Amino acid sequence: MTQPDNTAKQKTPPPRKLMLVRFGKMGTLGWCEHNETNIPRTRPHVVIKTSRGLELGQLVGVGNYRSGQFKSTPEQVEEYFGPTETGQPVITETGTFVRFATPEDLREQQHLEISAVQEAKTCEKLAAELNLPMKIIEAEHLFGGERVVIYFTSEGRVDFRELVKRMAREYQTRIELRQIGSRDEAKLVGDYETCGQECCCKRFLKILAPVNMRMAKLQKATLDPSKISGHCGRLKCCLRYEDATYLELRERLPKKGETITTAQGVGRVVDVQILTQLVVVQFENGDRQAWPVDEINALNKLAPAEEVQKEVASQPQPEISEKEITAVDEVTTEIEDLSRQMRSEEQRPRGGQQRPPRDSQPQSRPQQQGQQDRGGKSDRPGGGKNRNKKFKKRFQNNNGNNNPGNRNNGGPRPNQNQNQRPNRPPQPEGGNS
């Protein structure tokens, strides 16, 4: 008898439940582990524990949960936001879930925000007393009260050690000063843009990729700095949204100065319109006309013969199977046999002897009659000789008489049957008599 296997089967651990939370003044995104089986849609605020301390955050995608598990995987979310310039992930595992926020937690957060305004003013006053070249942007007081984070901008590095000591002595808590750039400043203080929407960097944009003037020129935007700059004083981030589409449409259009052919002739490209996909062409007479890019064909510049040979030589030769080689040989053999047979038929004598027809069908009666009329040999005995005698007599009579129907006298040709050929006398030996 076999003994029962007492070894317990290793159970696979259940997948961790993660929730996507946005927290902090900078709108940081992070994954928080939890054990909740139901995520209520009416309570989007949660209290989480991060490396900075206890914070109040907001759930992202409240309707994207099933049995407490976020439907999209972390890889799919990373792919949605795209890679960063530094290569670091946009979303990291920030901390753990503590509880859903209660009304008391929300009221406490409002009091902390009011006190953070006063803390920013105090820090700005102390920085002026210490003559520090820095601009205080905003302060953030964490929900647990463990830390106060102050954001500032400066053109260079600042020694703020004395400022931190005075702030810690004033509020009896840990003070953290963080230097930010102009775009992060707009994320904190920006409100609404000229489009009527809230600033993208403050509302949803997490990756602040660089924007250059080439994008503005490609999109035919005005080059007025006051119209293409945002709250940060730099080019608007929205210029980058459609840059890939403009580049794709621009590749379909010919370059300026290129010679192209149109329905009205050859012309030179003087301007292109990316969105409408039109090409403005100037002809030799000076006229200009816009043509759709689908109706024109750019002239192909012929490459030197050496480059063409190199390109052909570099291409891989197609492989030919044995069946294809055998089929080609058979066709070549058939063509050679046919050409040899045709040459042998052409070399046969073409005298009075009748040439056998190529096909196996017997010759028709009108063809045989025509051969007898032309003086050739007939199947009947003596048929050809009698016909030659008649032609000789008729030729002698016509040669001596002034017959109006004679062709030598220039008279009209007698009417003959269309199905039969005229009977012409044979040429005597020695020339015309």
**Paired tokens of 285:** 């007479």
| 428 found inside a domain | no
Which tokens go with 197? 């929407």
* Residue 112, both tokens: 């902390």
- For helices 383-400 and 365-373, angle between their N-to-C axes, nearest 10 degrees: 50
Whether residues 269 and 241 fall in one domain: no
pLDDT at 305 over 60: no
Domain shared by 49 and 85, yes or no: yes
237 and 291 housed in the same domain = no
Name the domain boundary from 83, 101, 119.
101
**211 neighbors 233 (Cβ within 8 angstroms):** no
pLDDT (mean) for 107-111: 92
Given this model, what pLDDT does residue 373 score? 46
Residues 60 and 85 in one domain: yes
Among the listed residues 274, 303, 308, 267, the one whose alpha carbon sits nearest the alpha carbon of residue 288? 267
115 shares its domain with 155: yes
Evaluate whether residue 324 is within a structural domain: no
Residues 93 and 116 in one domain: no
CATH code (residue 166): 3.30.300
- CA-CA distance, 35 to 102, in Å (whole number)? 18
Domain end: 298, 331, 365, which one? 298
Q: Please state the pTM of the whole predicted model.
A: 0.57
pLDDT for 427: 53
Tell me if 246 sits within 8 A of 221, measured CB to CB: no
Name the pairing type of β-strands 28-34 and 17-23: antiparallel
Q: 174 and 113 share a domain?
A: yes
Strongest mean pLDDT among 287-291, 351-355, 389-393 = 287-291
Q: Are 31 and 42 contained in the same domain?
A: yes
Q: Which of 130, 151, 180 is the last residue of a domain?
A: 180
Q: Is the pLDDT of residue 321 over 50?
A: yes
Domain count, the chain: 4
Residue 113 lies in a domain: yes
Same domain for 261 and 241: no
Domain that holds residue 49: 17-101
Whether 232 and 273 share a structural domain = no
226 and 243 assigned to the same domain: yes
Query: For residue 123, what pLDDT is reported?
Result: 92
Residue 422 lies in a domain: no
- At 344 the pLDDT is 80
- We report the CATH number of the domain holding residue 261 as 2.30.30.140
> Residue 158 falls within a domain, yes or no?
yes
Is residue 429 domain-resident? Answer: no
Instruction: Tell me the two tokens of residue 338.
Output: 């046919």
Taking Cα atoms as reference points, which of 23, 146, 157, 150 lies closest to residue 92?
23
Which of 171-175, 327-331, 371-375 bottoms out in mean pLDDT, i.e. has the lowest? 371-375
Q: Quick one: pLDDT band at residue 337, thresholds 50, 70, 90?
A: confident
**pLDDT for residue 152 is more than 90:** yes
pLDDT in tens, 14-69: 677 888 888 888 888 888 888 888 888 787 899 999 888 899 998 888 888 887 88
Provide mean pLDDT across the span 361-365: 47
pLDDT at position 150 over 90: yes
Q: Which of 136, 110, 126, 134 is nearest to 45 (CA)?
A: 110
Of 284 and 86, the structure prediction assigns the larger pLDDT to: 284
Indicate whether 126 belongs to any domain. yes
Domain membership of residue 398 (yes or no) is no
Same structural domain, 72 and 125: no
